[in-house]
Amino acid sequence: MRTAFKLYELAWEAALPLLRRNRRLAEGFDQRVLARPLPCADVWIQAASAGEAYLAWSLAGELLSSANPPDVLLTSTTRQGLDILVQAADAMRDSSPKARVTTAYFPFDRPSSMQRALAQVRPRVLVLLEAEIWPALLRAARLAGTRILIINGRLRATSLRHYRLLPGFWRELAPDHVAAISAADAARFRRLFPGCPVEVMHNIKFDCIETDPGPAGRPNPLRSLPAPGTGFLVLGSIRRDEEQDTARLMRAVLAQHPNTLIGLFPRHMHRLAAWQRRLDRLGPPWRLRSQVTAPLAGPAVVLWDVFGELKQAYALAAAAFVGGSLKPLGGQNFLEAMVCGVKPVMGPFWDHFHWVGAEVVTRGLVRMVPDWPSAARRLAADLADPPPREAVRSEALAYIRRRRGGSRLASRVIRHYLDQTPGPRRVPRRPPAQ
């Protein structure tokens, strides 16, 4: 073990000059190498990037809502994640004067740096979200007597195979407790960390799903975009690798339902020019969303070049397809369509959203199809006879609400270990300027 960490230290020492030149890592580099010290806190929560940052927001909010809230440090590896954490900290301080929460970039996992980090923060509990397993951090926390928790844990089979190449190494770095998001993940954690208490919890992501369709009493700004009597089909979050199949799907749907307005939402704005050329070849009239000033009747395509309107479009759609799913790209967020009262259609590839549960498919809240021709047929059927919006929305909300509560469970676990590890009440330093 000692030899392994000496080699790990040398590897980081050699890598630091290269990392300093990395544009993504250069921002906050002083914090990453601890040239600027971290603030102290009772609970340190590490969130890798944006997705985990929202989980940290929900979890920290639960912890800080108590009568005697702990001091909390939130860290992230990426700028996007840190921006979310800063926003979260501001919101929590605004809502609760007792909330003492600070934010910082996550330090590099260099053994000597992590020992300094634990000495600076002096956390009683360290919370690692999802799959954040850093060897130097785990070792430093163990040496410091900090309780280590993996919350909302997930561990892929491929990752487990790699970790188990050094089973003794990871056994010595085992956390004090793991709360995993599925029975399968829990079983893999038990194999990686024999003897560690492991339980199954509801995924905190369910607590983060926005179920409000929009501000009460405010009309949908897109309500007049489809002309009366025009069917509205939304193609959401379309990825580059599936653009050709999506174009074929559009042609097939319009052949059956020519009076259809299609809202086309590329996942990335830099694909707009490519879509403009493709739509010129495809044939139906098309307009950029920013240029639409009057209701449109079908056949027509609106190519969305405006951010932030996908949810509002779902709320008007008779049918919807969610991209990232016709090719092995992991899928995109189909829950947004569900809570707007649409039963979305998607392809067979949705690995990144398996945490939602296969029941969304077996219950028909989402229709999974094998290919674009099947998707076209399903969408055409929905345009002819749209599922009842309020009934779909009600069923979707019930599905989500039954699976909420992960933040509360995780908060109870953290408080249990805080109570087991008493320490002095500390006033954290002001958060470093971002």
pLDDT exceeds 50 at position 47: yes
**Inter-axis angle of helices 79-95 and 50-64, nearest 10:** 20
Cα–Cα distances (Å) from 268 to 24, 232, 244, in that order, read 20, 22, 16
pLDDT band, very low/low/confident/very high, at 259 (cuts 50, 70, 90): very high
pLDDT exceeds 60 at position 432: no
Cα–Cα distances (Å) from 75 to 78, 160, 403, in that order, read 9, 25, 27
Q: What is the mean pLDDT of residues 283-287?
A: 93
**Looking at 62-71, 171-180, 253-262, 326-335, which range is the least confident one?**
62-71
Report the mean per-residue pLDDT for the chain.
Answer: 92
Q: What is the mean pLDDT of residues 428-433?
A: 41
Q: Order of strands, edge to edge, in the sheet holding 101-105?
A: 101-105, 72-76, 43-47, 125-129, 147-153, 177-180, 198-200
pLDDT exceeds 80 at position 193: yes
pLDDT band, very low/low/confident/very high, at 45 (cuts 50, 70, 90): very high
pLDDT of residue 177: 97
Whether the Cβ atoms of residue 127 and residue 153 lie closer than 8 Å to each other: no
Rg over CA atoms, the chain: 24
pLDDT band, very low/low/confident/very high, at 217 (cuts 50, 70, 90): low
Task: Read off φ and ψ for residue 371, nearest 5 degrees.
Answer: -160, 175
pLDDT exceeds 70 at position 239: yes
Q: What is the mean pLDDT of residues 28-45?
A: 95
pLDDT exceeds 50 at position 60: yes
Please give the structure tokens belonging to residue 186: 């829990």
The percentage of the chain sitting over the pLDDT mark of 90, rounded to a whole number, equals 84
pLDDT of residue 65: 87
Specify whether domain 22-204+405-420 bears CATH 3.30.1490.190: no
pLDDT band, very low/low/confident/very high, at 433 (cuts 50, 70, 90): very low
pLDDT exceeds 80 at position 338: yes
Superfamily, domain 231-401: Glycogen Phosphorylase B; (3.40.50.2000)
pLDDT band, very low/low/confident/very high, at 1 (cuts 50, 70, 90): confident
pLDDT of residue 97: 76
Q: What does the pLDDT look like over 140-153, one tens digit per residue? A: 999 999 999 999 99
Cα–Cα distances (Å) from 289 to 262, 269, 340, in that order, read 11, 12, 21
pLDDT band, very low/low/confident/very high, at 427 (cuts 50, 70, 90): very low
Domain boundaries along the sequence of the chain: 22-204+405-420, 231-401
Q: What does the pLDDT look like over 93-131, one tens digit per residue? A: 888 877 899 999 999 999 999 999 999 999 999 999 998
| Fold match between domain 22-204+405-420 and domain 231-401 | yes
> What 3-state DSSP class applies to 44?
strand
C-alpha span between 418 and 400 (Å, rounded): 30
Amino acid found at 249? L
pLDDT exceeds 80 at position 214: no
Following CA atoms 332, 305, 340, 407 in sequence, which dihedral angle do they give, to the nearest 10 degrees? 50
Following CA atoms 234, 237, 240, 243 in sequence, which dihedral angle do they give, to the nearest 10 degrees? -10
pLDDT of residue 213: 60
Q: What is the mean pLDDT of residues 293-306?
A: 94
pLDDT exceeds 70 at position 92: yes
pLDDT exceeds 60 at position 365: yes
